[in-house]
Amino acid sequence: MKRGSFQDALRQMPEKNRILLLSVAVGLASGLAAVLLTLAIRWIHDGLTSWFTQGRDYYLYLVYPGIGMLLSLLIVKYFVKDNIGHGVTRVLVAVSKNESRIKPHNMWSSLLTSALTIGFGGSVGAEAPIVYTGAAIGSNFARYLGLSYRNMTVLLGCGAAGAIAGIFKAPLAGVLFTLEILLFNISMTSMMPLLLSTVSAATVSYILLGPTPAFQCTLSPFNIVNMPFYALLGVFCGFVSLYFLRTTLWLEDRLSSMKSPYLKWLLCAAALGLLIYFFPPLYGEGYDDLAPLLNGQDVAYEGRTLLAALFQWKWGVPLFFLLILLLKVFSMTCTNAGGGIGGTFGPTLFTGAVAGFLLARTINLILAGTSFTVPEQNFVLVGMAGLMAGVMQAPMTAIFLIAEVSGGYDLFLPLILTSTLSFGTIRIFEKYSIYTKRIAMTGELLTHDSDQAVLTLLKTSQLIEKDFSSIEIDDTLGTFVGVISESVRDTFPVIDRQGRLQGYVSLEDVRKDMFRSDLYESRHVFNYMHSFYEYVYEDENMETVMSKFEKTGAWNLPVVDRNRKYIGFVSKSKIFSAYRNELKQLSQD
């Protein structure tokens, strides 16, 4: 079927049915992308490490990650030519700044580069790249069919939700991830497309990857006596989340000051190689190393690390995993800063599992000699939810994701308690998640507050009125009168010969002189000019624009570029009108 006839057929369908049909298509495509990424990482990882048998083979940990980072760096630099890191954050920016438009290359570029990065041992997660890929699929489906911003945003959310559902086989978690983290406001009508998308994606994943859960675990029965320790785990995860978030942002800022990408790659590759050599669980996503912890098995790294001797001392195991907990942030940030492509989602789950194991093992060592022990594998699983709730500030997603990917529904009470306390603890110190903190600092973050969301969506550049007649500061009164005779406005911006804004003159200022022809040559515009107390930049966010209106009491403010060249005016009345229209669109069911 030709593109035109296909579009016409879709347009003839009721809008609700059209979006439902497209949500299934987006879900299938996102689920397939998740399967491809999972298989690609597994194939590369197994090809590089499955033959390791002797200690000397593990020296390759020193070089493998750097190779993957370099390949990703070169692909991005010479083929993609776009910044594709921090996938979830970029999806948020696309919704708030780019009308939910994501470039077509993101349907494959994040998938390819993250497969190379993680397959070669980059210490990051595949979840953020696949979310970016899924969101790009939804966005480009909508753009191809010429859908509105609102429907494009819904399909973008469907793609992201489908990606999470596909990679974890967790449809409900995909919906909650989209609602809690990605979409600021969504009507109940939009819930059905999200559900259809996640079910479609999870079905594709089940068919192609089998029914095995993402995290196989052997859990102990839930015991209410352990609830105080789960509460302690929640607070502990809250503080670990705070360390994770702030250390990541601090280290990213330090590494971003290095201008040469190849020097940065060399430094980060060397640091990452050494970290993985001494701490093998930092290799790749690290999920394989969580299997013993999730099944209550002994952990041993004999022949895999020079620090294996620590495991002969009873406190050596928690010390080893404490170092892993502290260093995972560094290995993750080095991977991304050195040119690799990956997200913080996977490292968050990994670090949460380590945090849960560390606390449980410490409690059991302290209580050694008594008949009481806590089930370490349960704490590993619940710790994953705790850190996710803190770092991402998404407690509902954390609870249901961990329950879905492990089958650990018997641990609902600990999951809820730990996630809630972790979320509450970090909120004392940090208002924003690791995905939203940088965006919030620019004032471009969409939130679940409808008023704030609408202000963020409004673009100053789209509200500029350009029917004001400008005059030059040295023009005579006679010239000015000629401009007045052809103007439809009673305010006149004053510019210099370079087009820079100098002030304004109102019709009231010259009314008494405009009919005195004897003053036409002796009086000039600068004799009547007033200065503006405030002006607005064309790329300024609407929240600060409104604060300037509030501060000055004005109904019109001039708009200039960063060189102060005059562009036009923005009026409070037009902003209010656009606000009402946008709010009506957001609230539409």
- pLDDT tens-digit profile of 420-471? 999 999 999 998 888 888 777 665 555 555 555 565 667 777 888 888 888 9
Domain boundary among the residues 178, 209, 240 is at: 209
Quick one: 371 and 466 in the same domain?
no
Residues 233, 418: contact at Cβ < 8 Å? yes
- Give the structural domain span for 204: 3-209
Quick one: 386 and 297 in the same domain?
yes
DSSP string, 39-78: HHHHHHHHHHHTT--SGGGGGGGGTHHHHHHHHHHHHIII
Quick one: 170 and 253 in the same domain?
no
Q: Is residue 469 part of a domain?
A: yes
Q: Is residue 290 part of a domain?
A: yes
- Which amino acid type is present at position 515? F
Quick one: 367 and 430 in the same domain?
yes
- Residue 143 in tokens: 């753009």
Q: Is residue 336 part of a domain?
A: yes
- Give residue-wise pLDDT tens across range 211-255: 888 888 888 888 999 999 999 999 999 999 999 999 999 999 899
Q: How many Cα atoms within 13 Å fall on the side-chain side of residue 114? A: 32
Quick one: 8 and 62 in the same domain?
yes
Q: Is residue 568 part of a domain?
A: yes
Quick one: 434 and 461 in the same domain?
no
Quick one: 284 and 412 in the same domain?
yes
Quick one: 405 and 343 in the same domain?
yes
- Residue 251 in tokens: 């280290």
Quote the CA–CA distance of 459 and 538 in Å, as a whole number.
Answer: 9
Domain boundary among the residues 445, 469, 484 is at: 445
- CATH number at 525 reads 3.10.580.10
- CATH number at 243 reads 1.10.3080.10
Q: Is residue 218 part of a domain?
A: no
Q: Is residue 180 part of a domain?
A: yes
Quick one: 174 and 272 in the same domain?
no
Q: What is the pLDDT along the chain (589 residues), one digit of tens a residue?
A: 455 565 666 666 767 788 889 999 999 999 999 999 999 999 998 888 877 666 566 788 889 999 999 999 999 999 998 888 888 888 888 887 777 889 999 999 999 999 999 999 999 999 999 999 999 999 999 888 888 777 888 899 999 999 999 999 999 999 999 888 876 555 556 789 999 999 999 999 999 998 888 888 888 888 999 999 999 999 999 999 999 999 999 999 899 888 889 999 999 999 999 999 889 899 989 888 888 888 888 777 766 777 767 777 788 889 999 999 999 999 999 999 999 999 899 999 999 999 999 999 999 999 887 878 999 999 999 999 999 999 999 999 999 999 888 877 788 999 999 999 999 999 999 988 888 887 776 655 555 555 555 656 677 778 888 888 889 988 998 898 888 888 888 889 998 888 899 989 988 888 888 888 888 888 888 889 988 888 888 878 777 888 888 888 888 889 998 888 998 888 888 887 777 776 565 555 4
Q: What is the 3-state secondary structure (H, E, C) of 467-530?
A: CCCCEECCCEHHHHHHHHHHCCCCEEEEECCCCEEEEEEEHHHHCCCCCCHHHCCCCEHHHCCE
SS3 369: coil
Domain boundary among the residues 422, 445, 468 is at: 445
Q: Is residue 214 part of a domain?
A: no
Q: Is residue 172 part of a domain?
A: yes
- Residue 197: its H or E element: helix 191-209
Number of domains making up the chain: 3
Quote the CA–CA distance of 45 and 276 in Å, as a whole number.
Answer: 14
Q: How many CB atoms sit inside 10 A of residue 311's CB?
A: 17
Quick one: 357 and 400 in the same domain?
yes
180: DSSP letter: I
Quote the CA–CA distance of 293 and 380 in Å, as a whole number.
Answer: 7
Residues in the chain, total:
589
Quick one: 75 and 108 in the same domain?
yes
Q: How many Cα atoms within 13 Å fall on the side-chain side of residue 283? A: 29
- Give residue-wise pLDDT tens across range 283-308: 989 888 888 888 888 777 766 777 76
Quote the CA–CA distance of 576 and 367 in Å, as a whole number.
Answer: 64
Quick one: 469 and 574 in the same domain?
yes
